[in-house]
Chain A
Amino acid sequence: MEFTTPFFREFAESYSERSGPRLAKTLRPDVSTEKLRKICKSHNAHDIKSSLKRGLQLNAALADGLDQQEVQGWVDVYVAYWNGAKAILAARESSGDDGQSSELVWTKVYAAWTELVNVLIRGYQNCGFEAWTLPCLYVVCKHLRVFASNADDERNNNTSIDDSAAATFQDDFDPETNKRQKLEDCARVLSRVFMLCQSDRAPLEESRKWGIYYIANLLLKTYFKLNSASLSKNILNSLRAGGRDMPSFKAFPRSQQVTFKYHQGVLAFLEENYVDAETYLTEAWNDCYKNSVRNKELILTYLIPCRLVTNHTLPTEKLLAQYPRLQKLFLPLCRCIKRGELHKFDLALQEGEDEFVKRRIYLTLERGRDIALRNLLRKVFIARGFEEAKDGEKPVRRSRVPVAEFAAAISLGSQERIDNDEVECLLANMIYKNHMKGYISRQHGIVVLSKSGAFPGTGV
Chain B
Amino acid sequence: MTASILYIEDDLEIGRFVNEHLLEQGYSVNWQRSGEHALESAAGCRLVILDVMLPGLDGFTIGQRLKKAAPDLPILMLSARTSIDDKLQGLQFADDYLTKPFHPDELIARIEVLLRRSGARTAEPLAIKHLLVHEQQNRIENRDTGEEIMLTGKQFHIFGYLLRHLGQILTKEQIYEAVWGEAYIEGDKTLMVHIRYLREKIERDPASPEIIETVRGIGYRVRA
Q: Do A and B assemble together?
A: no
Binding site for B on A (CB under 8 A): none
